[in-house]
Amino acid sequence: MKILVINAGSSSLKYQLIDMDQSEVLAKGNCERIGLDGKITHQANGEKMELETALPTHADAIKMVLKYLTDEKWGVITDVSEISAVGHRVVNGAEIFVEATLMDEEKINTLDGLTEFAPLHNPPAVVGLRACMEVMGKDVPQVTVYDTAFHQDMPATSAVYPIPYEYYEKYGIRRYGAHGTSHGYVAGECAKLLGKKPEELNIVTCHLGNGSSITAVKGGKCLDTSMGFTPLAGVMMGTRCGDIDPAVAMYIMNKEGLTPDQMSDVMNKKSGVFGVSGVSSDFRDLDAGAEAGNERCRLALDMFAYQVTKYIGAYAAAMGGVDAIVFTAGIGENNPMMRTAIAEPLAFLGAKIDEEKNQMRGKAMAISTEDSTVKICVIPTNEELAIAQQTLAVISR
Ligand code: ADP
């Protein structure tokens, strides 16, 4: 069975065609600059091609994807009918879509009404969905998979904010979290790696990339997560500030005469390790800067590590103990120095990192010492496979 996974952005559309029998990616690519000049990158059969081509709308992009998937040279299927279903990534389903959902016209309209919960991400997902329905017809199931779904199990003690309760009732303001598909996937893979059932484990999953979030996964379910109403909360990130005293925002707005949108820009795009270092949001640049003696690069890296350590400690306490700590995403999978900086202070919990194993890359493995009572693992995330798995589960019901 083959499932097409779509991740639509405002001017891009990433795709993967996955053979579910082998969990194998048959083809993948990205349509970029949709609505502008248009470009498609497509990888299949061990080769990669790039083509600049007009892509006025997302529907044109989907047509192009289907054309390449069935192409004589670049294709991996002979007919579109071989695609059993399409799984769409959606960032926020609010309290309406609490699990992966088979979509119809009415549900798409409902999702369309949730724009405010993810202004940059939800609208393109709806456009991508409509485009697939238009191009592929009504017979191919279109399933939406939500980044917020895994966090829906969070109890009210984690989700509700200590502001007047009426704002939750009126506007749905609460913690929703993000990266849920990734946290759920790596927690499941961690349990497999340790030969345990998810229900038996308390895991802290650290998704550390441009956007970073930490989740307490107790018995396979989300107990708490660091991102909040929006993905601005939690640990500091590439360009996002994470948790700060909320009064700081009002203070700067008054001093600098900034509008709410301008302040949001400062906190989302000019803060985090970029804001502190003044150099870059990319941890590779910061490592190089710190190595060359740049103290603000050093400070940004030290702050990031400190904050992640603090969250792990807090979640260990919240869960009444921790069996495993998982690192994933760009930094979590590829930056051994950062993993060491985060994990070393956790020796008191029984988490001891093995420096030799910590240098390995590219596969799911434990990087803790034999006598470490808390397993430390690196698990490459695979959100596309997780979306395809959830899509398959929905259409198999
Ligand atoms: P996004 O959240 O945009 O998906 P990523 O998960 O790719 O971001 O994470 C980006 C961060 O991961 C960057 O700070 C970068 O330094 C780091 N990173 C990504 N790939 C590598 C790599 N191969 N080696 C070292 N660091 C990497």
pLDDT in tens, 151-181: 999 999 999 999 999 999 999 999 999 999 9
pLDDT of residue 116: 84
Instruction: State the distance from the centre of ligand 1 to the C-alpha of 331, rounded, in angstroms.
Output: 5
Instruction: State the distance from the centre of ligand 1 to the C-alpha of 59, rounded, in angstroms.
Output: 30
Burial profile 314-342: b = 16 or more Cβ within 10 angstroms, e = fewer: ebbebbeebbbbbbbbbbbbbbbebbebb
Tell whether the model's pLDDT for residue 362 goes beyond 90.
no
Tell whether the model's pLDDT for residue 394 goes beyond 90.
yes
Residue 9 in contact with ligand 1 by CB distance below 6 A: no
pLDDT of residue 100: 97
Which residue in the list 37, 112, 147, 371 is annotated as catalytic? 147
For the CA of 332, the closest atom of ligand 1 is: 12
In angstroms, what CA-CA distances link 155 with 105, 219, 222, 317?
Answer: 32, 14, 9, 16
The residue type found at 111 is L
CATH 3.30.420.40 fits 196-378, yes or no: yes
Domain chopping of the chain, boundaries: 2-146, 196-378
pLDDT of residue 195: 98
Confirm whether 2-146 and 196-378 share one CATH topology. Answer: yes
Query: Would the CA dihedral through 8, 9, 13, 16 be positive or negative?
Result: negative
pLDDT of residue 138: 87
Ligand 1 pocket mutation, candidates 283, 286, 328, criterion most atoms within 8 A of CB: 283
For the CA of 238, the closest atom of ligand 1 is: 14
Residue 230 in contact with ligand 1 by CB distance below 6 A: no
Domain 2-146 classification at class level = alpha beta
Strand order in the sheet with 365-366: 221-225, 212-218, 202-208, 324-328, 375-378, 365-366
Burial profile 100-122: b = 16 or more Cβ within 10 angstroms, e = fewer: bbebeeebbebbeebeebbeebb
Query: Would the CA dihedral through 369, 312, 321, 230 be positive or negative?
Result: negative
